[in-house]
A = this chain, B = another copy of it.
């Protein structure tokens, strides 16, 4: 059995049965559990399944979204979001990325702040509906289900027509050499397009992302104004970033 064939088999299984039990699949196909686990790990990295103890489950944006809406935002993200929200001046124009941290920023914006928010996330646009003074501009395009944001050519094109004072970007990896990274190429391109349209770009990264890198680069450090994080300011990685000239905004 070819590796790619196995991969398809797993995805089909996931679609048909709604779950994968590593042990059963290994026994069924006559291969080792290690291979199954490796495949699942890869699929999960690509956002095609959700890895859980014992196997995998389908990525369920509904559940994620549902959980994100109801769950108390983790403390770290909350702190980062508060600091980020403080960067937005009255009357300012903000480009806000998608993702849970950015959503926390949207919620952290003062309810009566008169500003303009440009976003490619329908979730964030919806969250800002109860900010009566905020002008919301939505960037359209094909919705990328994994992270629930508009991506692709149309979205990038739409982004070309806006300009902003500040861009707040969420990423999955923050690494001194690799720069800012994320797990999907389309998303990386979109974030790049957003950052290019703002005078200043600040990155939102809770501490667990510091020192890690994902597959696709978003931006090098030269194009980033600063990093907003709850990580220890004396952390080795943070110190390295400071040496690179990155402004560090501590959230704690």
Listed in ascending order, the chain A residues whose CB lies under 8 Å from chain B are 2-5, 8, 11, 19, 21, 46-48, 50, 52-55, 57-63, 65-67, 69-72, 120, 122-123, 125-126, 128-130, 132, 135-143, 145, 148, 150, 154-155, 158, 161
Contacts and interface: CB of A to CB of B under 8 A. Distances in A.
Interface residues of A, dominant DSSP = mixed
A93 to B, nearest CB: 13
A20 to B, nearest CB: 9
Given A46-B72, A48-B71, A61-B129, 16 more contacts: A3-B53, A4-B54, A11-B63, A60-B70, A122-B123, A129-B145, A135-B143, A136-B142, A136-B143, A136-B145, A137-B141, A137-B143, A138-B138, A138-B150, A140-B155, A154-B161
B158 A140 contact: yes
A75 to B, nearest CB: 12
A126 B129 contact: no
Contacts of A123: 122, 126
Given A47-B71, A141-B140, A142-B137, A132 B58 contact: yes
Contacts of A138: 122, 138, 140-143, 150
B137 A4 contact: no
A139 B128 CA distance: 17
Given A70-B47, A138-B141, A3 B52 contact: yes
Contacts of A57: 2, 4-5, 8
Counting from the closest, the 9 A-B pairs by CB-CB distance are A140-B140, A62-B130, A122-B122, A4-B52, A136-B143, A47-B72, A122-B125, A61-B129, A138-B140
A129 to B, nearest CB: 4
A70 B59 contact: yes
A63 B161 contact: no
A140 B137 contact: yes
A3 B60 CA distance: 16
A168 to B, nearest CB: 18
